[in-house]
Amino acid sequence: MVLRTEITERPPLLRSINPATGEKIGEFPNMGKKEVDEAVSRAKEAQKFWAELSFEERGEWIYKFKEFVRKNIEDIAEVISQEKGVSRMEALISDVFPILDLADFYIKNTQKILRREKIKIGVWGLLGRESEIEYFPYGVIGIISPWNFPFSIPVGQIIIALMAGNTAVLKPSEFTPKTGVTVKKIFDEIGIPKGILEVVTGDGYTGEMLVRSGVDKIFFTGSTTTGAKIMKTAAESLTPVVMELGGKDPMIVFDDVDLDITTDAAVFGSFFNTGQVCASVERIYVHKKIFNDFVNLMVEKTKKLRVGYSKTPYEYDIGSVISEKQLEKVKEHIENVIEKGGKVLTGGRTNKLFIEPTIFVDVDHSFKAVREETFGPTAPIMKFETEDEAIELANDSEYGLTASVWTKDLTKAKRIASKLNFATVMINDNLITHAIPQTPWGGTKKSGIGRTHGKEGLLEMVQIRHIHTNKMGQKMRQPWWYPFTKEKYEFSLALTNLLHSPSLKEKMSSLIKIAKEIGKVSKQKL
């Protein structure tokens, strides 16, 4: 096998740069196999002690973390704002604030969700047996994160991993290493023992080394392409994975909506975080009766958005995109719309890494901007006439992260929601549910495998141990043990009929036979 370092030169340092200004923020080691393996081994060692703590004790550490974040929320948001080139307001509300509620939820509920439970085992229970389920941590969780929410995504996963008794090793994105290092600093500030959280900075190769390091499970958040590569690598060691991947999220708007509120939501859903949200509204389907009014109002509002970057937390609405590569991808989609005869109603122009929020019409599902994840500030708007057509259009995608349905008729909205092949459907809202920690987050189709957040996300952090007790196990032999005999064979047939015959008469005669034979059969031994 040829590892990537053996075929390419890697720079020893990663440069973190504010994409909005070009200003250098810091340099961080571009770690290799040795550093990753050492971090994982510290995390493995620490996990032995961490798993012995009670849920309450682990909760106390998470509470300290939460309090530190609350008291320093503006400073943390400033680091994120600089590394991403977006306003501090945006960083604060979307990337830091949601973590406080998430911490509370898992401090209060982890023990309850992971309590030991008895399971019903039917007739086996009558035969003196009992089964219980208990949950136990995997060990070390490897977390590989993207840059678009460099704090809330990994920190949410770290809190859940730690509360469940795991330790964690985080590989932040190469675009946001300072935010990753800041997370580690916060854990150090609260005095958490060494190895409970490790952070390894670096590029994709560092991530690959983490997948190969012997961690017990990988939580990956990022693009579908990288997700597929990671699954392939993880398959070599059968390391389990949770994958939170890309999206192409539809917004379906019916003709009874409040146009003013719904167009505000469409603008926010499409352009928030410069459209670099996995759950961004990336396709809008509007009922033909209100199509023109909706489009005109959305264009009017989009023109009011202020594009730029400054240290004043709320001077601009839309920041830069993260990188040249991201800019090129968005430009490619805009050019494809123009080439294929679609109309750009507003926006479309770029300046350095800033892109004007852009609205397209006269597009359909053959356009790149409608089929592929754009991950930028663009909104293609299309028409539909019937409920079935809206469902068909929304489902016509290889992604299945979130969708939203907009109407005053909640019965209709729920009926439609149940027909959408998406892991989250929001009714009269968008974007929000990643920030609601009580609810599961994940994707169908190419948007992901497994869940984070909610009870389901916690269960991804633990293994299930089934404990089965045969209360008669020291009193008698089982009738199916060796040696096989004629009596045991007939006993087995009688047992089959006792349990499964629909005839009461047959059940009764089988019961009599079993009662008569059980003593004899259980004495037949090797």
Residue with tokens 């040249």: 324
In the structure encoding, which two tokens stand for residue 230, read together? 């990671």
In the bound state with ligand NAD, the residue whose beta carbon lies nearer, of 198 and 373, is 373
DSSP secondary-structure letter at 92? Answer: I
* Sign, Cα dihedral of 213, 219, 222, 224: positive
Q: In the complex, what is the shortest distance from the CB of residue 392 to ligand NAD, in angstroms, rounded to a whole number?
A: 23
- Point out the residue whose Cβ comes nearest to ligand NAD: 207
Using only C-alpha atoms, the chain has a radius of gyration, in whole angstroms, of 28
Q: In the complex, what is the shortest distance from the CB of residue 227 to ligand NAD, in angstroms, rounded to a whole number?
A: 7
In the bound state with ligand NAD, the residue whose beta carbon lies nearer, of 5 and 223, is 223
Q: In the complex, what is the shortest distance from the CB of residue 236 to ligand NAD, in angstroms, rounded to a whole number?
A: 12
DSSP run (H or E) holding 463: strand 462-470
Residues lying near ligand NAD in the complex (CB under 6 A) are found at 144-149, 153, 171, 173-174, 203-204, 207-208, 211, 221-223, 226, 229-230, 244-247, 278, 373, 375, 401, 443, 448
CA 257 to chain centroid, in Å, comes to 31
3-state secondary structure 4-71: HHHHCCCCCEEEEECCCCCCEEEEEECCCHHHHHHHHHHHHHHHHHHHHCCHHHHHHHHHHHHHHHHH
Amino acid identity, residue 19? P
Active site residue 83: no
Helices H / strands E in the chain, number of each = 20, 24
Which residue among the candidates 278, 356, 373, 460 is catalytic per the annotation?
278
Q: In the complex, what is the shortest distance from the CB of residue 52 to ligand NAD, in angstroms, rounded to a whole number?
A: 31
Q: In the complex, what is the shortest distance from the CB of residue 356 to ligand NAD, in angstroms, rounded to a whole number?
A: 21
Q: In the complex, what is the shortest distance from the CB of residue 243 to ligand NAD, in angstroms, rounded to a whole number?
A: 8
Which residues have CB under 8 Å from 480's CB, separation 6+? 488, 492
Cβ(152)–Cβ(140) under 8 Å?
Answer: no
In the bound state with ligand NAD, the residue whose beta carbon lies nearer, of 285 and 375, is 375
Q: In the complex, what is the shortest distance from the CB of residue 297 to ligand NAD, in angstroms, rounded to a whole number?
A: 28
In the bound state with ligand NAD, the residue whose beta carbon lies nearer, of 222 and 454, is 222
Q: Which residues pair with 221 in a beta bridge?
A: 244
Opening angle at CA 26, ends 25 and 28, nearest 5: 145
Active site residue 278: yes
Using CA atoms, how far apart are residues 213 and 142, in angstroms rounded to an integer? 9
φ, ψ for residue 474, nearest 5 deg: -100, 5
In the bound state with ligand NAD, the residue whose beta carbon lies nearer, of 263 and 276, is 276
Using CA atoms, how far apart are residues 207 and 36, in angstroms rounded to an integer? 9
In the bound state with ligand NAD, the residue whose beta carbon lies nearer, of 156 and 165, is 156
In the bound state with ligand NAD, the residue whose beta carbon lies nearer, of 278 and 413, is 278
Give catalytic residue positions.
244, 278
